[in-house]
């Protein structure tokens, strides 16, 4: 490896990271990494075990004179996202990640770097091995399969960890301390329709809204981006109040965790109303463009005549569907009362007509840092579609982590950060899922924070680690351990 080693500080952390990078660890295929961690802990003569879910814990006793301190859990996830460039020959089940230094950044040759969360793993390993550090009793926890379902954290029993505090090392912006995350669930609504013969004298028109910004349905939900599905429903509702409107097809949105960027429908209207629809569409487009002139600069509204079909969705069902899509709430539902962050939101993700089943299927997701608030917004969504005659199902979902305004760990983390770097860290939450959500469900008394060195391009072959921030996070981490 042609690496300028003098840059890589702290050396112990980067040496551990180099060891981690030799061990294959794709999500759900972490066996080699589990063995590696077990051998590492045993090699240091420390109490080491794994649970049925595949999580590993290594316990390190307090350093001399620190025995009376509370136990702190340091936690990272052992798996990594395996993405590579098309031209790169690489076997993630066998090959070692090849890293290199480019300026202040560490990168990998044509693959994900695995610093998410291998750098967190490496920091824990370096702490376990270093006899010169001052700290109370420590539990170093390495969870499995964070990236594809959080099954390690989910399968963890409530007696696996015993610490009073937990520091999660899976955040990606040095200088930011995370204190909450959202839980989430999915709600689906299904309409069963009859095919109705198309009456005489209809004009078929296809409507398409596209070119929207989109984004993550949690993290971007407060950015006032338009939801293509809601815009389309809004136009259809407006027109069905004015004229008999028959639905021939609707295909809108996509992934359950994305703000929909594109929506299409084909409808039939009486031929005499053809021009009215065209004029209304143009006025509607102008209104919407004005409403979103900052956040949606590239929206396109396309209206075209379409081929007639012999049948359409029965009119009562399509009217109830369109009314429900108009009526259902979408976007930010509530802001947090503790921090400047979305507390609860809902995203109308997709609407798909499936002629083989004669159904129209609607997918949505709800998120909140408060479980009861998530149940409430999911019930709000469900009630509208139940009123409209749809079958509604809400999944079990995963829990959130609500901010703890009395967190002692956070107070120490902030004070030590200011002392070390003479500036305030940003204390924030994320409106998306983290493993801390699952821990907070199993260990309600656990006081947690999450932070880590700066990463960019995670989950892609462009993933890179900002080297100087590793030293900063290391110093901060040791200062917290010494002072809690």
| Size of interface with Zn ion, in residues (CB under 5 A) | 3
Compute the radius of gyration of the chain from its Cα atoms.
Answer: 26
Interacting residues of 334 by C-beta distance below 8 A, sequence separation 6+: 342, 343, 344, 368, 373
Active site residue 146: yes
Q: CA of 164: how far to CAs of 124, 126, 141, 355, in Å?
A: 17, 22, 14, 55
Of 32, 19, 39, nearest in space to 79 by CA: 32
- Which of 79, 117, 249, 463 is flagged as catalytic? 79
Nearer to Zn ion, 382 or 432 (CB): 432
Coil/strand/helix, residue 130: coil
We find the least distance from the C-beta atom of residue 266 to Zn ion, in angstroms, to be: 42
Compute, in degrees rounded to 10, the torsion defined by CA atoms 209, 210, 215, 221. Answer: -20
Here the tokens at position 216 are 């993550």
Here the tokens at position 263 are 């929506």
Q: Is 249 in the site for Zn ion (CB under 5 A)?
A: no
Q: Would you give the binding string for Zn ion spanning residues 66-105, x where CB under 5 A is met?
A: ----------------------------------------
Q: Is 116 in the site for Zn ion (CB under 5 A)?
A: yes
H or E element at residue 133:
none
Nearest-angstrom CA–CA distance, 67 and 82: 41
Active site residue 87: no
Nearer to Zn ion, 233 or 455 (CB): 455
We find the least distance from the C-beta atom of residue 58 to Zn ion, in angstroms, to be: 20
Q: Is 117 in the site for Zn ion (CB under 5 A)?
A: yes
Which region, judged by CB under 5 A, interacts with Zn ion, from 109-117, 150-158, 180-188, 418-426? 109-117
We find the least distance from the C-beta atom of residue 77 to Zn ion, in angstroms, to be: 6
We find the least distance from the C-beta atom of residue 141 to Zn ion, in angstroms, to be: 14
Q: State the pairing for strand pair 464-466/455-456.
A: antiparallel
Q: Is 435 in the site for Zn ion (CB under 5 A)?
A: no
Site for Zn ion in 152-191 (CB under 5 A): 170
We find the least distance from the C-beta atom of residue 175 to Zn ion, in angstroms, to be: 18
Q: Count each helix (H run) and each strand (E run) in the chain, helices first.
A: 11, 23
Nearer to Zn ion, 15 or 147 (CB): 147
- Which of 30, 145, 146, 174 is flagged as catalytic? 146
**Location of structure tokens 């809108």:** 252
Q: Which residues make up the interface to Zn ion (CB under 5 A)?
A: 116-117, 170
Active-site annotation, residues = 79, 146
């Amino acid at each position: 490896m042609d690496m300028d080693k003098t840059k890589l500080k702290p050396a112990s952390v980067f040496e551990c990271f180099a060891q981690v990078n030799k061990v294959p660890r794709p999500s759900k295929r972490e066996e080699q990494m589990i063995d590696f961690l077990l051998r590492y802990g045993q090699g240091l003569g420390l109490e080491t075990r794994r649970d049925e879910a595949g999580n590993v814990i290594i316990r390190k006793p307090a350093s001399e004179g620190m025995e009376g301190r509370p136990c702190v859990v340091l936690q990272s996830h052992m798996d990594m996202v395996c993405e590579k460039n098309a031209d790169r020959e690489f076997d993630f089940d066998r090959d070692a990640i090849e890293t290199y230094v480019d300026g202040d950044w560490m990168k990998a040759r044509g693959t994900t770097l695995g610093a998410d969360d291998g750098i967190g793993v490496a920091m824990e390993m370096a702490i376990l091995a270093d006899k010169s550090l001052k700290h109370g009793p420590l539990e170093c926890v390495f969870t499995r399969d964070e990236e594809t379902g959080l099954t390690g954290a989910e399968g963890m029993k409530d007696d696996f960890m015993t610490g009073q505090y937990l520091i999660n090392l899976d955040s990606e912006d040095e200088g930011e301390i995370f204190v909450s995350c959202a839980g989430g669930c999915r709600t689906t609504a299904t309409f069963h329709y009859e095919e109705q013969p198309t009456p005489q004298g209809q004009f078929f028109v296809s409507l398409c809204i596209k070119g929207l910004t989109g984004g993550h349905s949690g993290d971007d939900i407060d950015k006032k981006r338009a939801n293509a599905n809601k815009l389309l429903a809004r136009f259809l509702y407006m027109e069905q109040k004015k004229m008999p409107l028959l639905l021939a097809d609707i295909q809108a949105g996509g992934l359950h965790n994305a703000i929909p960027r594109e929506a299409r429908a084909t409808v039939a209207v009486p031929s005499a109303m053809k021009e009215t629809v065209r004029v209304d569409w143009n006025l509607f487009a102008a209104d919407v463009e004005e409403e979103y002139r900052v956040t949606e600069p590239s929206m396109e509204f396309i209206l075209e005549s379409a081929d007639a079909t012999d049948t359409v969705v029965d009119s009562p069902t399509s009217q109830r569907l369109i009314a429900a899509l108009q009526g259902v709430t979408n976007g930010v539902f509530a802001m947090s009362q503790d921090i400047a962050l979305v507390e609860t939101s809902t995203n109308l993700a997709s609407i798909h007509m499936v002629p083989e089943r004669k159904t129209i299927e609607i997918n949505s997701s709800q998120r909140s840092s408060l479980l009861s608030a998530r149940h409430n917004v999911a019930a709000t969504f469900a009630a509208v579609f139940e009123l409209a005659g749809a079958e509604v199902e809400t999944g079990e979902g995963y829990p959130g982590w609500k901010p703890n305004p009395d967190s002692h760990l956070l107070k120490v983390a902030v004070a030590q950060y200011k002392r070390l770097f003479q500036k305030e860290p940003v204390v924030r939450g994320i409106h998306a899922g983290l493993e801390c959500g699952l821990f907070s469900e199993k260990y309600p008394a656990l006081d947690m924070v999450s932070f880590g060195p700066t990463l960019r391009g995670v989950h892609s072959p462009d993933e890179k680690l900002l080297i100087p921030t590793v030293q900063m996070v290391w110093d901060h981490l040791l200062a917290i351990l010494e002072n809690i």
